[in-house]
Amino acid sequence: KIVAKKTKTLTRNQIIKKIGNPHLNLYTGKDYFYFVFGGYNYAQHSVMVPYLKDLSLDQWVDEGKSFLQEIGQ
């Protein structure tokens, strides 16, 4: 008997929660996503993939944390 493994759907909220910065958000563009840091130092960073599932949760977290490091957060 073969049992199909149920894959967990990745959400933007899961990504932001795991990164843990209250001023960071992740938005959807056309065929890409972008992080926005909305504190006193507004900045944004694009990730050129059409679907959240194109990266793992850890890859998304790495993208977000690298962005925060780049802007001194």
**Does 3 or 33 have the greater pLDDT score?**
33
CA distance readout (Å), 12 to 1, 51, 62: 35, 11, 14
Cα angle 27, 43, 14; round to 5: 35
Q: Highest-confidence range of 5-9, 37-41, 64-68, by mean pLDDT?
A: 64-68
- Tell me the average pLDDT across 33-46: 87
**Does 46 or 6 have the greater pLDDT score?**
46
Q: What is the pTM of this model?
A: 0.83
Q: Please give the mean pLDDT across all residues of the chain.
A: 90
**What is the per-residue pLDDT for 15?**
97
Kindly tell me if the per-residue pLDDT of 7 is higher than 70. no
